Amino acid sequence: MIPKSLLWRTFWRTYLVGAVYTMRGLQNVGMVFILHPVLCALYAHDPAALQRARHRYLGLYNTHPCWTPALAGLFLSLEERIARGLLTPQALTTVRSTVVFTLSGLGDAFFGGGVFVLWALVQCFLLVRGLWAWAVVWTVTALIAVQVMKVLTFFRAYSRGLAFLQDLKRWNLINWARHIKVVCAVALAAVWAALAAPLGPWAVLVLGAGVGVAGVLAPSGPWRLVVLAGVGVAWIVGQWA
């Protein structure tokens, strides 16, 4: 077992994954930096094996930063098994080439296109309404929640190994991302209503209806969420009229 102190040292390094970003390997140097202390501990007796272990992570690597701790934990679990002779290096290469880019897309959908957008919209609404204290509480709570998620996924991925991938499948984050985007559309309607309130209810009603029509005519799926936002604005202001 890898000592807890070494695991924590690895976790803190995940925040520096983008410190060395190259056009050839993207985040690969950062991942080698993250895993280096554990790799040195696992292969201290064999410099050649240590060099091969480092080389396994020098290929193209790029994923959403929120999943970096989980992937680091998974890689540590697999490297530990390789060092014990329970797993072949080729198995890790296969897992790495598949999981990294899958989590990249999942991270963009769930975090970049869902959770972070929802945070920003709620923050805008609170600031527009002059609720400064609640805005600070909301931001601090969201920031802490993301860090807790990183810690939990890092240690769970390390302890569960490949079974962690089944956990991800069971969590069904893609569907959660869709639900969050619908909530984002409603939050966007609330922000528009708060911003346009001084214009008067009928002006906001026209604005919301116009945006709704634009959403209907939009060719891409994400833009159609604007329809819900436009209808939301129209409905909210319709109650004021």
Q: Which of 107-118 are b and which e, b meaning 16 or more Cβ less than 10 Å from the residue's Cβ?
A: bebbbebbbbbb
Which of 171, 205, 222 terminates a domain? The answer is: 171
Dist CA 175 CA 192 (whole Å): 26
Distance CA 228, CA 214 (A): 11
What local confidence, expressed as pLDDT, does residue 70 receive? 93
Please tell me whether residues 219 and 127 are part of one structural domain.
no
The domain total for the chain is 2
Does 49 share its domain with 100? yes
Q: Do 20 and 125 lie in a common domain?
A: yes
Pair (160, 184) in one structural domain: no
What's this model's pTM, rounded to 2 decimal places? Answer: 0.78
Contacts of 147 (CB under 8 A, 6+ apart): none
Alpha carbon distance 28, 72 (integer Å):
12
Q: What is the pLDDT of residue 221?
A: 56
Q: What is the C-alpha to C-alpha distance for residues 101 and 132, in angstroms, rounded to an integer? A: 39
- Number of other residues whose CB lies within 10 A of the CB of residue 81: 16
Residues 79 and 64 in one domain: yes
Cβ 83 vs Cβ 42: under 8 Å: yes
Residues 94 and 18 in one domain: yes
| 221, 186: one domain | yes
Chosen domain end from 148, 171, 194: 171
The boundaries of the domain holding residue 36 are 4-171
- 177 and 89 fall within a common domain: no
Instruction: Point out the residues of the chain with pLDDT beneath 50.
Output: none
Same domain, yes or no: 186 and 137: no
Is residue 191 located within the same domain as residue 241?
yes
Coil, strand or helix: which one is 234?
helix
User: At 5, is the secondary structure helix, strand, or coil?
Assistant: helix
Give the three-state DSSP class for 26: strand
Give the pLDDT confidence score for residue 57 in this predicted structure.
86
Annotate 111-148 with three-state secondary structure: HHHHHHHHHHHHHHHHHHCCCHHHHHHHHHHHHHHHHH
Choosing from 171, 200, 224, the residue where a domain stops is 171
Can you tell me which residue has the tokens 């920031």? 143
Q: How many CB atoms lie within 10 A of CB 10?
A: 23
Taking Cα atoms as reference points, which of 69, 9, 19 lies closest to residue 39? 9
Q: Are residues 37 and 57 in the same domain?
A: yes
Query: Do residues 126 and 36 share a domain?
Result: yes
| pLDDT value for 181 | 85
> Using one digit for the tens of pLDDT, what is the confidence trace for 127-143?
888 888 999 999 999 99
